[in-house]
Amino acid sequence: MPRVRLTVAYEGTDFHGWQAQTPPDGPPLRTVQGVLSDVVTQVVRAPVTLVGASRTDAGVHAIGQVAAFDADLRIPIDRLAMAITARLPADVQVREASLVADSFDPIADPVSKAYRYRLASAEPPRRWPPLFDRRTVAWTRHDLDVARMQAAAQRLVGEHDVAGFAQIDHGRRTTVRTIHHCHVRESASGEVDIEIAGSGFLYNMVRIVAGTLHEIGRGRFDGERIDEILATGDRRLAGPTMPPEGLCLMWIRYPGDAEPSA
């Protein structure tokens, strides 16, 4: 039976995250996996098991989530993304569909993945919190020194034990990860973008990294705090877990994929 790979984008505000969830005392929660599975089943006219690469949390967005399922297709693969998206609600889209090897595993096979955390800063009335993009941009009232944040972000690059940047109950056997790059830039519209790519990330890791860089940018921490967190693994030394609306899964790269642009 053919295996299909999907590239999925969604605005995560009204979802309880990616993973399907059914409380013991109520109906299933609205999740991206649940909504997408129902529509794919309609399109291929058979039940499917849809596996996603990254379990994004409630309120977190994606441009490049990857999912896969097995099915005998009734329509050409080049029409599948359109056929699925036409039946999906407005806050989720399938951007691309392709046939892959039967051994393709969206969870185990990634070479790297990248996230962006977008943050608007400054205090009213000089600058107001996001309004029209408030669901996809987080806000802080503090002025941020982007150059200071960028210098500190470079300390994350390399292979490290990143336990200090994860929730205690991260559920992973190892906390060693490789960070390929971490950039802090001011966007054309004036927001601060924290872009981080690596071999993988622990639970809430990117939001905690963003919170730590936020504290450095506002002058509460020195850049050397990054080194201390990596050396000790002490979560208490890191910044707060930033709110979910600023976080977006940008891409996931697999063997044979083109190198994403930085």
User: Of 42, 34, 23, which Cα lies nearest the Cα of 67?
Assistant: 34
Helices (H), the chain: 32-44, 77-85, 146-153, 205-217, 225-232
Catalytic residue among 14, 25, 57, 70: 57
Strand, helix or coil at 172?
coil
Q: Does residue 161 have an active-site annotation?
A: no
Distance CA 86, CA 175 (A): 40
C-alpha distances in Å from residue 81, one per residue of 61, 73, 86, 156, 237:
19, 12, 9, 37, 44
Query: Cα-flanking dihedrals φ and ψ of residue 78, to 5°?
Result: -75, -5
Dihedral (CA of 59, 62, 67, 71) sign: positive
User: Of 244, 216, 114, 207, which Cα lies nearest the Cα of 155?
Assistant: 216
> b or e along 83-93 (b: 16 or more beta carbons within 10 Å of the residue's beta carbon)?
bbbeebeebbb
Q: Which amino acid is at 175?
A: T
144 is written with which tokens?
């941020």
Q: Which amino acid is at 75?
A: I
Residues in the chain, overall count:
262
Catalytic residues, by residue number, are 57
